[in-house]
């Protein structure tokens, strides 16, 4: 009896091993690497798990899906992919900023998708303007994951204290979009709030406290360009000086703190702005809203508190006369080291639907990427998304160019110089241009 049992056990073990090996041989391994702030941005990776079975059924294969998600700093996150690519251990799908196409495409770390995009009808519905930021050297290298707007958040609470009527407050976004209420008006309002003691000096307007995409819209707002028609880097000195005059002037007039660059995001910037009682205008991103709602004002009512006390509008018009914003789409790129790029693309296509993208858009307050999504009930009825979606009509984007980091770092140096008073606007522009020329050499044209 014991011998039979033992025989049966060994047989079972053998069979299960054979079955396991067979399954393992059929399984296609796909690793997805995402950067996301939990919990509101979790769908960036989790959506793949939702469609895994669907894709398995469609392709008739077993997928071994590995999702790696954290909220690492961008610099480390990007280096990780570069090093992993070179070591032959890159994830099949990497989610990152579209501007990385400018570095990773020439390095051969990601693959062009022009020939295969047409095979998936889901991609036909992507908002056409989003493809512009996914190109490099005449080819498309990524699939948009989300879009966003970088608006000015204004404190309704403080504007009421300043004597604004509810009608004035609620109509502000429309007046800004129409170019009637300009950046100069915003600075004047902030000055008035300081003069009347409604906000402290330096708290009329806060921009982000570290380098990042937002700063470019001040330069765009003064007519500056980063790329010429041929795709080469340029810098417009007049626009640069005007940008630095705006920022330096805001510090000089007491509207903007001279030490706003360097404030801790999580310890000072978010907790202060989210309360709506200290800073009148703050330049942020749409995704800040759910972060504030969950982490900083949940005890006051979360979304309801924010709707009551904070509004959002485009960046008011500067020299060009047009209100603008900047979108920085994150993009799914497929690694050139992927053994199954077709499966990877199939997975990306499966989550590029209104149903899946809406979950991310609604939870994280990122803007939709599909036309059908914009018309969907869930999206259209969402109070936040419907209040911000029009911003995509006024949007700008970062360039995809290998020299962009050198350009942007030099540009940011000028901002630091002028805000800390280490240089005036012209001096700051000289610093930035000298830095660009030193590092980019012939790769930059000063206009």
Partner 1 sequence: MSASQFASASQVQAKRSRRNALRSYLGAYGFMAPAGVLVVIFFLIPVAIILYLSVTNLASSNFTSDLAKMEYIGLRNYETLLNDQFARKIFFNTIFYVLFTLSIFNVSLALIVSLLTTHIDRGAGFVFRALWILPRITSPVVYILIWKRMMAEAPFGILNQFNDWLGTPTYNYIATNPWVFVVVVNGFIGLSFGMIIFTSAIESIPKDLLNASLVDGSSKLQRIRYVILPLIRWPLLFVFTYQTLSLLTSFVEIQLLTDGGPGLYRTEVWSLTAYHRALSNYFGNAQWGYGSAFAVLLVLIGVVLAVIYMRVFRFDELVAEPRVETL
- Which chain residues interact with partner 1 by CB under 8 A? 73-76, 78-79, 82, 85-87, 96-97, 99-100, 102-104, 106-107, 109, 210-212, 259, 261-262, 264, 267-268, 271, 398, 402, 404-406, 408-409, 413, 416-417, 419-420, 422-423, 431, 434-435, 438-439
Distance CA 146, CA 141 (A): 15
- A 10 A CB-CB count for 300 gives 15
CB of residue 417 to partner 1, shortest distance in Å: 5
CB of residue 408 to partner 1, shortest distance in Å: 6
Q: Which residue has the tokens 């200290």?
A: 278
Q: Which is nearer to partner 1, 353 or 420 (CB)?
A: 420
CB of residue 277 to partner 1, shortest distance in Å: 12
| Spacing of C-alpha 374 from chain mean position | 19
Q: Would you tell me the crossing angle of helices 354-364 and 341-351 to the nearest 10 degrees?
A: 70
Q: Which is nearer to partner 1, 78 or 366 (CB)?
A: 78
CB of residue 54 to partner 1, shortest distance in Å: 33
Phi, psi of 10, deg, nearest 5: -65, -40
**234 in helix, strand or coil?**
strand
Note whether 360 and 41 are within 8 A (CB). Answer: yes
Q: Which is nearer to partner 1, 173 or 202 (CB)?
A: 202
Q: Which is nearer to partner 1, 157 or 176 (CB)?
A: 157
CB of residue 438 to partner 1, shortest distance in Å: 5
* Enclosing H/E stretch for 420: none
Return the structure tokens found at 383.
């109070």
Q: Would you tell me the crossing angle of helices 341-351 and 43-59 to the nearest 10 degrees?
A: 120
Distance CA 397, CA 430 (A): 25
Distance CA 85, CA 102 (A): 16
Q: Which is nearer to partner 1, 75 or 128 (CB)?
A: 75
Q: Which is nearer to partner 1, 182 or 335 (CB)?
A: 335
Query: CB-based burial of residue 373 (10 Å sphere; 0-12 exposed, 13-18 middle, 19+ buried)?
Result: buried
CB of residue 354 to partner 1, shortest distance in Å: 31
Q: Which is nearer to partner 1, 166 or 422 (CB)?
A: 422
CB of residue 33 to partner 1, shortest distance in Å: 14
């Amino acid at each position: 009896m014991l011998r039979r049992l033992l025989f049966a056990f060994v047989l079972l073990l053998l069979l299960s091993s054979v079955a396991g090996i067979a399954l393992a041989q059929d399984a296609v391994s796909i690793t997805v690497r995402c950067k996301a702030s939990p919990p509101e941005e979790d769908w960036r990776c989790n959506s793949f798990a939702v469609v895994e079975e669907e894709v398995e059924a469609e392709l008739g294969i077993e997928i071994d899906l590995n999702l790696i998600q954290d909220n690492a700093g961008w610099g480390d996150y990007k280096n990780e992919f570069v090093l992993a690519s070179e070591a032959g251990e890159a994830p099949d799908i990497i989610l990152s900023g579209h501007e990385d196409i400018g570095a990773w495409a020439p390095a051969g770390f990601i693959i062009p998708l022009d020939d295969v995009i047409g095979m998936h009808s889901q991609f036909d519905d992507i908002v056409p303007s989003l493809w512009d930021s996914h190109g490099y050297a005449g080819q498309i290298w990524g699939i948009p994951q989300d879009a966003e707007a970088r608006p000015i958040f204004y404190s309704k609470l403080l504007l009421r204290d300043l004597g604004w009527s509810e009608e004035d407050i609620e109509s502000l976004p429309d007046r800004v979009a129409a170019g009637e209420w300009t950046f100069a008006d915003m600075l004047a309002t902030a000055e008035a709030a300081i003069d009347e003691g409604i906000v402290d000096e330096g708290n009329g307007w806060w921009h982000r406290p570290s380098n990042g995409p937002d700063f470019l819209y001040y330069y765009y707002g003064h007519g500056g360009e980063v790329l010429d028609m041929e795709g080469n880097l340029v810098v417009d000195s007049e626009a640069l000086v005007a940008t630095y005059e705006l920022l330096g002037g805001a510090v000089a007039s007491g509207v903007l703190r001279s030490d706003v660059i360097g404030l801790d995001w999580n310890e000072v910037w978010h907790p202060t702005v989210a309360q709506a009682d200290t800073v009148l205008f703050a330049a942020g991103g749409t995704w800040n809203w759910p972060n504030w709602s969950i982490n900083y004002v949940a005890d006051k009512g979360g979304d309801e508190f924010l709707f009551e006390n904070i509004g959002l509008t485009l960046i008011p018009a500067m020299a060009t006369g047009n209100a603008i914003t900047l979108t920085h789409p994150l993009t799914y790129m497929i690694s050139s080291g992927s053994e199954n790029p077709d499966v990877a693309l199939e997975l990306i296509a499966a989550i590029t639907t209104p149903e899946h993208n809406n979950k991310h858009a609604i939870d994280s307050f990122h803007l939709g990427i599909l036309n059908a999504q914009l018309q969907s009930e869930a999206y259209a009825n969402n109070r936040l998304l419907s209040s911000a979606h029009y911003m995509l009509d006024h949007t700008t984007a970062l360039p995809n160019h290998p020299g962009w980091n050198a350009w942007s770092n030099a540009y940011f140096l000028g901002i630091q110089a002028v805000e800390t008073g280490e240089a005036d606007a012209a001096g700051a522009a000289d610093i930035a241009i000298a830095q660009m020329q030193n590092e980019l050499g012939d790769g930059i044209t000063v206009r």
